[in-house]
Amino acid sequence: MDMCLILAAVAPEPTTIAVVQGWIWLAVQICLGLGFVIFVHELGHFLVAKACGVKCDKFYIGFDVPMPKVFGWQIPSKLLHFQWGETEYGIGILPLGGYVKMLGQDDDPRHAEAEAERTKVKTETGEVKLDPRSFPAKSVPARMAIISAGVIMNLIFAVILAMIAFSFGVPEAPAIIGETTPGGPAWTANIKPGSKILRFGDSGEPYEHLRWDDLRREVVLSGFDRKLPILIRTPDGQTVRKELLPSELLRKMHQPTLGVVQQFTREVAPYEPARAYLDAQTDKPLEDGDKIVAIGGKRLEADYHLQELLAQQPQGPLTITVSRAEKAPPGATPLEPKRTEFDVVLQPRPMPNLGLALKPSPIIAVRDESPAKDAGFQVGDELLEVNGQPIGDPLSLGQRLVPKGDRSETITFTVARTDSKGAKSTRTITVTPELPLQQSDNFTFGSAGVESVGIAYNVLPIVALVETGRPAEKAGLKPGDIITQAEFVAASDAARQKEVKALGRDAFDPIVLDDTLKSWTTVMKRLQMSLPDTEVKLTWTRDGKVMTGQMLPVPSTTFFDESRGLLLYAQKKIHKAGNGTEALMLGFRETTDRLGEVVRIIGALFSRKIPASNLSGPIGIIQAAGSFASEGVPKMLMFLTLLSANLAVLNFLPIPALDGGHMMFLTAEWIRGKPVDEKLQIRLTIAGVLCLLSLMVFATAMDLGRWFS
């Protein structure tokens, strides 16, 4: 038996019937897709076995194992089965693989003796020998062909599935960097928004169709201790090689990161109804699919220009030009829609604020080829003053130093620097800022920075300034207090449910500040997504005493949301083959890449670059299948290509009870000239089955853990 293991349109809520129908259709696609991959694998074994003259007793998708009784009802072991010729075909109750039962071959040690007896036949002379149609009676090369046929079939169909997908056109998120986080590896290396990744590593030809998922995979497989060479094309057309060491920030979560965000388009996306309160303030509502073509009279030539111009004009009313497709009248022949342009005025969006400023950490990164680098800033410098005034809120500092107009006035920083001997001195650094190329309010990984200068720092939980008459002062906070926790308090049950629906079930969990994953920037990000009447309860310490205070945020007078409430679609391209030959080549490349990916992941697991906790079992596979299926048939075909490659590699591992284990025994038999001892095979097979079951239980536990967390 062979085992194979916020200018935003509001989206209308779908009806219950539509939701149920959608889930049913999704489930059907998942079952058909996963079943097809298993079917193809077993079909390979079956066809070659038949061609070699082996009798096949059963061909099953799923396992028809004995099932227990529940409340007196016997759970069937088979969902469907029928006899056709000498073979029983069916679908087993346990959907964890499939098998072809051949005469004389059974991985269940309990049936070993009975199966051995079935293969014996008596000749006319009374001699007992193997049934010529049994699996053991065939030559070693024939048995090797039968065992390897499942994997080969998976690889053939992986190419075919990917080929079909590229013939239809596969939606892909291109590996274009839309934003870099202050202090991250990509930011420090001065990778500009709009840069396109063409190659990972130093070998191979540049490839125009690298995907965002490829970037994620390469970063994870690089780990924390090895630099990842990448070849990029900058927005001005230059090809540049960079070497980036993934950040240590997410080491506790075993997630290396380069600190990059994918590119977004200029098309307005709809908010879910629960998030509609984040809508921008505008004099004219926008619709789903509206495209922003100009800002302040400047035409946008590329997607990354949008955030560039938004970052350079954070305050005051801002006029944008929008292109909208005209709707065809009912019954009209669908043609390329005519588009009209009109202007919309976006009002500034003050950030919710508590009226306090925290202390910036010493500088953690100086961007390459930046004004700060040229001026002599160093990692470890402590910011004391800017233009003779206190630093103020370090989160809004970058925005406050954006040059006004085309002229850039010099900025004077006073910093404290500690030399190699530990001596601290104060010095003045004069720098000429440049217009920022991205927004300065991206706090995804906890750090903040001054984009126009090129310095990044963390925000310490130490209160540096409390504004007079603002919520923090009224709550009793004073400079020097150390904030340890923030908790959001909804104004009502209805408001709480609305925010939970929009932000997730942990929206009101206390945020405990630490030095790694959660900092004051985490609190500020959450604050920007709160309803206007949601309050914040802070906990802080003063001289060893724990204190608390609850306050209602008020609009900031110096810090503004640079996105102005716009929600945009992530960039996606349709990668479609021009002809059948190109589709075949793309299918072959996709299969080869996925095979290499599986091999590298297995290697990374053994070398502990990837923790075993990242493994997924049946639940994870079904979740992934559902995610791909929801994006359309081509994406589902690409997932099945990936799954086929996984199945091919994993089934060929030298583990007894898998194809690779059978090949191991057959190879030993070929070398020795006689089969491996039957009792030893049984013991190794039992050990292999136990290992596989243990691995499956562990992977399922990891899936459940991720689900509940």
Average pLDDT, the chain: 87
**pLDDT on residue 380:** 95
In this predicted model, what pLDDT tens digit does every residue of 416-447 receive, in sequence order?
999 888 889 999 999 999 999 998 877 766 78
- The reported pLDDT for the residue numbered 470 is 94
- Is 546's pLDDT higher than 70? yes
The tens digit of pLDDT for each residue in 569-614 reads 999 999 999 999 999 999 999 999 999 998 988 888 888 777 777 7
The fold of 355-552 is Pdz3 Domain (2.30.42)
Cβ contacts of 68 within 8 Å, gap of 6 or more? 75
- Alpha-carbon distance of 120 to 127, in angstroms, equals 10
Average pLDDT over residues 536-562: 94
Query: Beta 455-466 vs 568-570: how paired, if at all?
Result: unpaired
When pLDDT is cut at 50, 70 and 90, the band that residue 3 belongs to is very low
- Predicted confidence at residue 17, as pLDDT, reads 66
Tens-digit pLDDT profile for residues 187-218? 999 999 999 999 999 988 999 999 999 999 99
**Where do runs of H (alpha helix) occur along 563-617?**
580-606
Q: Which CATH architecture has domain 174-262?
A: Roll (2.30)
CATH code for the domain defined by 265-328+337-351: 2.30.42.10
**What pLDDT score does 4 carry?**
43
What's the confidence (pLDDT) of residue 492?
Answer: 94
What is the tens place of the pLDDT at every residue in 639-656? 999 999 988 998 888 888
Instruction: Give one DSSP letter per residue of 636-700, joined into a string.
Output: HHHHHHHHHHHHHHHHTSS-TTSHHHHHHHHHHHHHHSSPPPHHHHHHHHHHHHHHHHHHHHHHH
Is the predicted pLDDT of residue 487 greater than 70, yes or no? Answer: yes
pLDDT score recorded for residue 595: 92
Per-residue pLDDT at 243: 94
3-state secondary structure 115-130: HHHHCEEECCCCCEEE
Task: Quote the pLDDT of residue 153.
Answer: 95
* Nearest of 399, 196, 231, 401 to residue 303 by alpha carbon: 196
Q: Is the pTM of this model over 0.95?
A: no
Domain boundaries, the chain: 146-170+575-709, 174-262, 265-328+337-351, 355-552
Res 535 pLDDT > 90: yes
**pLDDT tens-place string over residues 33-78:** 888 999 999 999 999 999 999 999 999 998 888 888 888 888 888 9
Rounding to the nearest 10 degrees, give the CA dihedral for residues 497, 502, 505, 507: -90
Does 265-328+337-351 match 174-262 at the fold level? yes
pLDDT score at 700: 82
Q: Mind listing the pLDDT tens digit for each residue in 256-275?
A: 889 999 999 999 987 655 44
Distance CA 549, CA 471 (A): 10
Q: Which has the higher per-residue pLDDT, 699 or 108?
A: 699
pLDDT for the residue 279: 56
